[in-house]
Structure 1
Amino acid sequence: MMRALLLLLLSLVALPLRAEEVVMGLSKDSVNITADFDGSEILIFGAVKREAPIRSDPPLQVIVTVAGPVTPATVWRKERRLGIWVNTDAVEIDAAPSFYAVATSAAWGDVISDVEDLRHRVSVARAIRSVGAPMSIEDSQSFTDALIRLRESKGLYQQRPNTVELRDSTLFDTAISMPANIVEGEYTTRVYLTRGGRVVSQHASVIQVGKVGLERWLYNLSRNQPPLYGLLSLVIAIAAGWGASAAFRALKSG
């Protein structure tokens, strides 16, 4: 009995004490894509639970990430041949989030170390996995960089330093804008607490993004009954063309 009690006490001592733990909330846990959808903004907020007094050195920092569904991607390099731009080399990227935003409470170098970034895959570059890039292409990293630039230009990849407001090392909040061209699926939201560049706590939640109403009906029709969807599209195009022609004739005769 004494031996079992001793082993229990030793196991409790061996357990790490979490002095700080993050809790978070979302202004909405779902985003509906409708016919007039022009984007959405998610407010992410939370607090830090403590079992000890607030430490000031090193200071507490907060990182917030929102990642969309992960899919493979092919990135092509274009070169000018005989006056024509053509695709030449290509790199298959194993997994890239369709949307990725990362917001921090300070400059990037002050919130997380390279080792912790590699471990938790927090930055945009680390969130993209390209382990299958061919060795024959010496600068395969440039293809990943090109994908990041392309999606940044479309608002799908966002790097937002100094945009998480942290009050008294306890309360925090930030807003993430999701553009109109996001895809359906689960968007994982994570909050990391760091000190001295090291992650001390993290919490994750999920935002559901999906089409509703007419958009959902048309999407399901295109997937489940492609011939009927194609016929409907043709009828709508003919009706729109006839209506525009009729309106033009009416204006001309008037």
Structure 2
Amino acid sequence: MLLRSLLLLLTLATLPARAEEVVLGLSQDKVAITATFNGKEILLFGAVKRETAIQETPPLQVVIAVSGPTGPITVRRKERRFGIWVNTDAIEVDTAPSFYAVATSVPFSEALSNVEDQRHKVSIPLAIRSVGAPMDVANPQDFTEAVIRIRQNEGLYQKLDGAVRFDEQTLFRTTIQMPANLTEGNYPTRIFLTRGGNVVSQFETVINVNKVGLERWLYDLSRQKPLWYGLMSLAIAIAAGWLASAVFQLFRRT
């Protein structure tokens, strides 16, 4: 037993100490979706903890990736035939994040090499997983590109080159704009320290996004008691119609 313990201590002593590690902070780790929610700006900040002096070259860089809940999505291709637009092809993308933002201290290609990007799946195209497509579908890559383009236009996919401010290769900070149309769930957040395009340290945390208040009550009611939710919606619609009619009649009389 003593010999085993000595061998373990000797092994640990020979392991190289990590020279640089990332220490992260968040302005908040929870986002509450209310009836008046119109988006939220999250501040991410941190520092580099070192055991040795700062290595000047190549300079240290920071890459931050925030991902929303993932799930499959069906993408359809439309073509104009006989004067009308019709769906011609469809592909189900196996996994696509509902939200994805990548912020870097320099242009992405300088901060992370292709090999490391393939390993960690950091860039937006690699965050989307599409295993296969029907043999009769031409250019299946177009469907993945369509998902990226549509969600970028909606503010759900963000590529923020140079958005991370990195002072003296020690302190860093950036802001991520969370849009109003967020999906509820956990948002894994990854921070990479890179040097010469290679990852030297990685840190992971989670931002929790949940509906609260009236939004939470209506969401739970629609899932747990759909009949009551439907009846309530119908009653509100009838009441709103009656009220609008009464107001219109009142204006006509005056």
State whether TM-score is above 0.5.
Answer: yes
Equivalent residue for 1:92? Answer: 92
- SS of alignment partner, residue 106 of structure 1: coil
Matched, 1:111 2:115: no
- Unaligned 5+ runs, structure 1: none
TM-score (norm 1): 0.95
Structure 1 residues 182 and 6: alpha-carbon distance in aligned structure 2, compared to 1, 3 A threshold: closer
4+ runs deviating over 4 angstroms: 1-8
Deviations 1:18-55 (A, max 9, x none): 11000101111111111111011100000000011001
Structure 1 residues 16 and 253: alpha-carbon distance in aligned structure 2, compared to 1, 3 A threshold: farther
Letter matched to residue 154 of structure 1: E
Structure 1, 170-179 or 80-89: larger mean CA deviation: 80-89
Structure 1, 162-171 or 83-92: larger mean CA deviation: 83-92
Number of residue pairs matched by the alignment: 253
Deviations 1:202-223 (A, max 9, x none): 1111111111111111111111
Letter matched to residue 206 of structure 2: V
Deviations 1:72-108 (A, max 9, x none): 1111100112111111111111111000000000011
Residue 151 of structure 1 and its aligned partner are, at CA, apart by 0.5
Equivalent residue for 1:120? Answer: 120
Equivalent residue for 2:144? Answer: 144
Q: How much is the aligned-residue C-alpha RMSD, in angstroms?
A: 1.6
Structure 1 residues 228 and 55: alpha-carbon distance in aligned structure 2, compared to 1, 3 A threshold: same
Residue 2 of structure 1 and its aligned partner are, at CA, apart by 7.7
- Unaligned 5+ runs, structure 2: none
Matches for 1:64-79 after TM superposition, within 5 Å? 64-79=64-79
- Cα distance in 2 between the residues matched to 1:239 and 1:16: 71
Identity, % of aligned pairs?
A: 61
- Cα distance in 2 between the residues matched to 1:90 and 1:126: 21
Deviations 1:158-206 (A, max 9, x none): 0010000000000000000011101100011111100000011111111
- Cα distance in 2 between the residues matched to 1:102 and 1:161: 8
Letter matched to residue 26 of structure 1: L
Structure 1 residues 7 and 154: alpha-carbon distance in aligned structure 2, compared to 1, 3 A threshold: closer
Equivalent residue for 1:33? Answer: 33
- Cα distance in 2 between the residues matched to 1:217 and 1:242: 26
